[in-house]
């Protein structure tokens, strides 16, 4: 197992090019299966979740090459529609392969992904949406056998909740359905619009992605395409927070400013000076203690993203005043609280509400990462803390933060990766 050893107190200074969005790259790589052709994906972040996705693509018979940030998927050699449990367990978001496989070959066999560190993560909305499109799903002992006895048929789908994954699976499956599909209460995250742009490049006819209602006109076949993934707004926020908590300054090259309104608003309200450049670059400077932190609650896009909640809690832990943070998306996404408390943070949790009383200083401690965003938040706390912090189980962080310690070291942090 590996850990990060961090000696806190160095202000982060410098510039960094933002990685490609993990939550855009994963569904786009899966969607390449639907084309049964060759696709090229640029700005694909080098993450363990991407590696897991490439493993599944190879298991399905696709030819895959990865050269730095460029991934080529040749899905013309698809030989299987079954994803074994061992690969599904690697990464629960592999559920996104349902839609692409149904598009490509009219069947998909995979196991229900099950819960994870942040919640039960049911897939009922995925199942309901796909069944509305004519998919028959037989579940036995957690194994889902999906078939389309009469082919995929366009339908009106009303999602109970603006689920990102269910929107993606429905949108991908609908591209090959006979007729028109309307998905209402669709997720509006930028990653959804990026996936739609990729699919439309492949010959799909998707309208309204990124808004609440998505209309998909089914087509007979999709062809290969080349696509560049949007920048990762959560990775960008993580680095902005790293500069803020260490009273430093950072220039993010290629940030997706217009995907970050809620996060930028928070940073400015707590005293950070933000400068947005016409080319998309985003600079942050902060030379003093963070001002009082306004209360926030997480919400579907364009609300404050749940994936930035843990980083925001580190900001609140060091801010001047008391803040309320409400997590409305996942039922178990405060697991970083106990670890932050070990570093001197003053946080009380009641169900999905955390009350955070800011302190002048955090102190180093041995802490455990228990999910991707909680883990990266603990690193932020270690960068700001007095003394040494050891963050264990950093494989969680490697799932979504590309070369995290290398990036932070280049910005002046005293951090190293140690194999324990
Ligand atoms: C995506 O997960 C992201 N993952 C998550 O990022 C992100 O936190 C989440 O969207 C919300 O923005 C990827 O894109 C790979 P949801 P997803 O379906 O699609 C419930 C990260 O750290 N729900 O929008 O799984 C669910 O339990 C990860 O990068 C159902 O009840 O999220 C949750 O409470 C973490 N039934 C809520 O909806 C369903 O069928 C939102 O889930 C589906 C979801």
Q: Which residues contact 240 (CB under 8 A, 6 or more apart)?
A: 250, 252, 263, 267, 272, 282, 284
Distance in angstroms (rounded) separating the CA atoms of residues 281 and 219: 38
Where are the strands (E) in 290-413, listed by range? 296-297, 322-326, 346-350, 353-357, 366-368, 388-392
Q: How far out from the chain centre does Cα 401 lie?
A: 10
Task: Report the chain's mean pLDDT, rounded to a whole number.
Answer: 96
Q: Are 293 and 325 in contact (CB under 8 A)?
A: no
**Residue 142 pLDDT:** 85
Q: Give dist(CA 126, CA 123) in Å, integer.
A: 5
State whether the beta carbon of 23 lies less than 6 angstroms from ligand 1: yes
Cα 329 to middle of ligand 1, angstroms? 8
Res. 420 pLDDT band, cuts 50 70 90? confident
What's the CA gap between 254 and 248, in Å, rounded? 19
Name the residues annotated as catalytic: 116
Q: What is the CA radius of gyration of the chain?
A: 21
11 Cα–ligand 1 center, Å: 34
Same fold, 2-18+231-419 and 22-219: yes
Cβ burial, residue 163 (10 Å; 0-12/13-18/19+) = buried
* pLDDT at 116 exceeding the cut of 90: no
Domain boundaries, the chain: 2-18+231-419, 22-219
| Protein residue whose Cα sits closest to atom 27 of ligand 1 | 121
Q: Which atom of ligand 1 is nearest to the CA of 400?
A: 29
- Kindly report the three-state secondary structure assignment for every residue of 120-148: CCCCHHHHHHHHHCCCEEEEECCEEEEEC
With a 6 Å cutoff on the Cβ, whether 185 touches ligand 1 is: no
What is the pTM (predicted TM-score) of this model?
A: 0.98
Helices and strands (H, E) in the chain, number of each type? 14, 23
Q: Is the dihedral of CA 178, 179, 182, 188 positive or negative?
A: positive
Query: What average pLDDT does the segment 145-165 reach?
Result: 98
Q: What is the per-residue pLDDT across 374-395, written as a single tens digit (0 to 9) for each?
A: 999 999 999 999 999 999 999 9
Q: What is the CATH number of domain 22-219?
A: 3.65.10.10
Question: 131 and 149 in contact (C-beta within 8 Å)?
Answer: no
Distance of CA 352 to the CA centre of its chain: 21
- Model confidence band, residue 285 (pLDDT cutoffs 50, 70, 90): very high
- Is 2-18+231-419 a domain of CATH 1.10.1740.110? no
């Amino acid at each position: 197992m590996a850990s990060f050893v961090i000696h806190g107190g160095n202000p982060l200074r410098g510039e960094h090019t933002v990685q490609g969005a993990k939550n855009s790259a994963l569904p786009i790589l899966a969607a390449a299966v639907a084309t049964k052709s060759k696709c090229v994906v640029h700005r694909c972040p080098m993450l363990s979740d991407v590696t897991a996705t490439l493993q599944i693509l190879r298991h399905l018979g696709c030819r895959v090459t990865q050269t730095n940030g460029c991934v080529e998927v040749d899905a013309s050699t698809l030989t299987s529609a079954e994803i074994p449990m061992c690969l599904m367990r690697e990464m629960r978001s592999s559920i996104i392969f349902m839609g692409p496989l149904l598009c490509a070959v009219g069947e998909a066999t995979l196991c229900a992904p099950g819960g994870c560190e942040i919640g039960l993560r049911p897939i009922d909305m995925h199942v309901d949406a796909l069944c509305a499109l004519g998919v028959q799903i037989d579940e036995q002992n957690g194994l889902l056998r999906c078939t389309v006895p009469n082919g995929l048929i366009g339908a009106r789908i009303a999602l109970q909740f603006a689920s990102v994954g269910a929107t993606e699976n429905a949108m991908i499956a609908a591209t090959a359905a006979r007729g028109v599909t309307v998905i209402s209460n669709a997720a509006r995250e930028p990653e959804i619009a990026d996936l739609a742009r990729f699919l439309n490049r492949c010959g799909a006819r998707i309208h309204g992605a990124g808004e609440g209602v998505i209309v998909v006109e089914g087509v007979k076949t999709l062809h290969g395409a080349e696509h560049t993934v949007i920048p990762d707004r959560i990775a960008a926020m993580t680095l902005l927070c790293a500069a803020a908590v260490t009273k430093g300054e950072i220039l993010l090259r290629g940030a997706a400013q217009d995907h970050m309104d809620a996060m930028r608003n928070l940073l400015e309200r707590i005293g950070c000076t933000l400068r947005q450049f016409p080319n998309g670059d985003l600079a942050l400077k902060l030379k003093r203690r963070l001002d009082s932190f306004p209360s926030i609650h997480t919400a579907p896009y364009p609300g404050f993203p749940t994936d930035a909640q843990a980083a925001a809690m580190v900001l609140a832990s060091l801010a001047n005043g008391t803040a309320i943070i409400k997590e409305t998306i996942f039922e178990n996404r405060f697991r970083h609280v106990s670890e932050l408390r070990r570093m001197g943070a003053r946080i009380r949790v009641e169900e999905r509400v955390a009350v955070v009383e800011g302190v002048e200083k955090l102190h180093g401690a041995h802490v455990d990462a228990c999910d991707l965003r909680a883990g990266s938040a603990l690193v932020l706390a270690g960068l700001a803390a007095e003394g040494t912090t050891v963050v264990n189980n950093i494989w969680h962080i490697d799932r979504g933060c590309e070369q995290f310690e290398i990036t932070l070291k280049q910005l002046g942090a005293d951090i190293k990766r140690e194999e324990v």
